[in-house]
Amino acid sequence: MNYKKQTDCIFHLLQPALCNSIPNYSFENIDWQSVFKLAMQHGVAALCLDGIQKMENLSASYSISMPKQCKLQWIGTAMQQERQFAKQMQVLKQLSCFYNKNNIKMMLLKGYGCSLNYPIPNHRPCGDVDVYLYGKGGFADTLINKEFGIQSKQNEDKHSTFVFNGILVENHALIINTAIHPQLCELEEYFEKEAENAIEMEMGEGSFYIPSINMNALFLAYHTASHFCKDEANIRQLCDWATFIQKNGKKIDWDFVEKLAKQSGFFKFFCCLNGIIQDYLGVASEMLPDWERNKDLEQNVVKSIVFPEFVGHLSVSAKMKRFFANKWKYNMVYNENLCKHFVLLAQSYYRTKIDKKAKSIWAKKNYDIEDVMKKH
């Protein structure tokens, strides 16, 4: 089954799942096992099943012929996804309650916050939990260790990590990584200020926050762009953007978002992202601004996302090869010198993976954990 047919099939299944639209597409002569495998790789298998069921419910003329064993695989995957979602919900409830009890405000980035935009939230795969704790991240890690005996690790410039009841938690000191992309400092500054306008959501006995609409528009688009550069973007991220726009497109201050995206360097990718969700996922054009379109470039972006050249755990030499092969992607996302960026990457690798005497990420934020503990 060729690239185009696999891709077309998945996107046409996602259209009714996300946008309630019946696609003008024939699902005949489909290698469903290949489609299932690709959907699994991109984290959209449960969503594709939603699309199948939605089409059959909305139109009596739609009856998709799929081998019984294959359909059982899709159903089993959806059920497994629902169980994983429930597990993550339990972790979020525990964390929000624990942080609230200790006067720590928690904002969720991506993940569960994105799932709230989906017609069936628990069919959006959630991997790790990304939190921003408003300057109390180091204090929070200390409390997690003291209360649960869980030791956090610092092997990134922007966040620490720990595993809580089987779920990986990334505790962000920075919302985006300005250590290797210093031209994004203005965007990071906006994110940290705008975080004060986050939207509060109740959860069990605690509460958490999700980014404001303008902040989320910029953050989700940039996040997808940054993964795109490293051959790590996927169809689920396109779905995140499509469902976010379906719900919030008319509430976004697009002039402001355009200005900051241009200043930060990823406006060209942003334009492609908006075009892709219209043509491939069925999002109505009136939900989006009238930005410049380049359909040839959009097709190349989709092809690179669906079938990336570099996948899996890569050696240093393979990462070097990927770095230079993806120059065209890099130029769509960053306004910076490639050689300078390469030096910053090398420094970051040494600082976070090798140097045992490197400063804590919380120290870099001028954050005195002991002082906060005393006040607490």
Mean pLDDT of 298-304: 95
For 115, 155, 170, 200, 313, the CA distances from 161, given in Å and listed in that order, are: 22, 8, 5, 24, 19
Residues 6+ apart with CB under 8 A from 80: none
Residue 197 has pLDDT above 70, yes or no: yes
Domain spans of the chain, in order of start:
3-375
Residue 110 has pLDDT above 80, yes or no: yes
Coil/strand/helix, residue 163: strand
Mutual angle of helices 3-19 and 295-306, in 10-degree steps: 100
Least confident segment among 34-38, 200-204, 221-225, 292-296? 200-204
pLDDT at 26: 85
Which residue in 154, 162, 172, 175 sits closest to 91, CA to CA? 162
Mean pLDDT of 331-341: 86
- Of all helices (H) and strands (E), which one includes residue 223? helix 213-229
In the β-sheet with 129-132, what is the strand arrangement from edge to edge? Answer: 159-164, 167-172, 129-132, 107-109, 206-210, 199-203
pLDDT at 374: 46
pLDDT at 61: 64
What distance lies between CA 66 and its chain's CA centroid? 31
Measured CA to CA, the distance from residue 43 to residue 234 in angstroms comes to 8
Six token digits for residue 248:
């919030």
Which residue in 82, 78, 74, 80 sits closest to 36, CA to CA? 74
Residue 54 has pLDDT above 70, yes or no: yes
pLDDT at 60: 63
Residue 96 has pLDDT above 80, yes or no: yes
pLDDT at 199: 96
- Asked if CATH classification 3.30.460.40 holds for the domain at 3-375, the reply, yes or no, is yes
Decide: 281 and 18 in contact? Cβ < 8 Å: yes
Residue 67 has pLDDT above 90, yes or no: no
pLDDT at 314: 77
